Structure 1
């Protein structure tokens, strides 16, 4: 059983920033990127033209012209295909993304969000490319890093604005959004030890019914289903990319009852953990 490959920023750059422009009439997938892997860095893909299809955390997404691909550290992903693609890929070490920006990218950086206009970022990306080509200058490293933080700030601003517009179109209540992001933050830190909706409602000082209302309005699912989907996603990653037994995976995710874990996985994924692992490696 293969271990999950991890791509590290240190393999590409010694100062945390790497930029690559892709112009291709055919597939851009390569031996390095065509298989599933995770990164220890943030990946921003600015799609100027054409189309790109990726698998991100076992879901397929298609990105078209003037859209932005965001892949956060630890997300499992691979390139499926691309057509007439013109794009700029920006890789940024996590150390260059501040904590507030990380929280925003976690909360708002959904793969489904596509930006209507990335034109203001193009001259900055061109400038960054120019600076990266002249790294023999002693001050170039600091300039590149500062320019990168500006680009990240604009990306985060664009994401928030796009989400606000999308929310207004969907009639999503702002208070609901705030509750959901707080809920997701809590879930990330507690999912292995507590999967009860009442626990999260209590931590947010609201009722379970109101938490369900908020989650349903923003994520289009219930609190219980969202918790189940998140824990099963963690299980899928371990099933595919580690040698751990199903029982060991269940225990690592906080399940003392191995049989219950198996039933829950089968209910959510549609197949048993063993069959999921077998199918993915055929």
Structure 2
């Protein structure tokens, strides 16, 4: 049985939880209630924060970002994150479960079109331009009112406002998209990533995934190089490294146990793999992370 290395927060466990599958709050009072969430943890729900005031840092899957006013942070279930704020911090927070939109949207994969829901930490932080800042604040104020007033159809109005928010933020990256990508290739890449998420512990070679996708390894590699600018093998290795980091920061897990969970034949092979990918041994990474957090 695989041990979970971080506290996993369920949306129903939150003290101010009032409505099924959704929580909307100003960030300052939310932070005051949930000071314990400043330590590294995971959610089983989607977590959105829009900062309007404050400074410090937010770390998502071991990628550190400087917190600034008018920044969005999007996190999907399972990502590891923690805060390190400086002084007063405020804004808005929205937590919603995967079920919240299930009966509302016919497309089960609707959110997969938005890069900030990809699970890639570097795509999860978005700065809002000055021209949009007032509109974003107004939208969040509407979300708060609908959440608090509980008028007829309030939850559906919340869903509509959130979809409006996601589309508006998604458009921010549209002018920078240079490549015209076919729907087939996007679907193929999504299928590859989904297969990695399910099988990264046991399947570590591109040819194994290519076989499951009914394409050649060369086709899969060309796809990843074209859309992601990295090879298919690197996509797989990056996911293994991320999981290794998540496991390593749990002091209760030994290196040998972690190597076993990730299906490495022995501790030595795992150590060589990890050092080649990160520049640090597993023990060095563990010490560095614990030192940074203390």
Rounded Cα–Cα distance in structure 2 between residues aligned with 1:144 and 1:241: 41
Indicate yes or no: 2:280 matched with 1:271: yes
Shift of 1:219: 2.6
Rounded Cα–Cα distance in structure 1 between residues aligned with 2:53 and 2:233: 39
**From 32, 41, 45, the counterpart of 1:41:** 45
Indicate yes or no: 2:217 matched with 1:208: yes
Shift of 1:204: 3.3
Q: Deviations over 1:142-180 (max 9, x none)?
A: 744323322332244335434443322xxx341354443
State the partner residue of 1:165.
175
**From 125, 144, 147, the counterpart of 2:140:** 125
Give 3-state SS (helix, strand or coil) of 1:267's partner: helix
Give 3-state SS (helix, strand or coil) of 1:241's partner: coil
Q: Deviations over 1:52-79 (max 9, x none)?
A: 6310000012354544210111111111
Shift of 1:274: 2.4
Structure 1: gaps spanning 5 or more residues: 135-139
Cα distance change on mapping 1:52 and 1:18 into 2, 3 Å? farther
Give 3-state SS (helix, strand or coil) of 1:254's partner: coil
State the partner residue of 2:105.
none
Rounded Cα–Cα distance in structure 2 between residues aligned with 1:35 and 1:113: 23
User: 1:109-188 alignment to 2 at 5 Å?
Assistant: 110-114=123-127, 116=129, 117=132, 120-134=135-149, 140=150, 143-168=153-178, 172-175=179-182, 177-188=186-197
| Aligned residues between the structures | 271
CA RMSD of aligned residues (A): 3.2
Indicate yes or no: 2:29 matched with 1:20: no
Cα distance change on mapping 1:53 and 1:28 into 2, 3 Å? farther
Kept in 1: contact 2:71–2:125 (CA 8 A): no
Name the TM-score, length of structure 2 as normaliser.
Answer: 0.77
Shift of 1:277: 2.0
Name the TM-score, length of structure 1 as normaliser.
Answer: 0.80
Structure 2: gaps spanning 5 or more residues: 103-107
Moved more, 226-235 or 255-264: 255-264
State the partner residue of 1:218.
227
Moved more, 57-66 or 193-202: 57-66
Give 3-state SS (helix, strand or coil) of 1:10's partner: helix
**From 6, 9, 18, the counterpart of 2:8:** 6
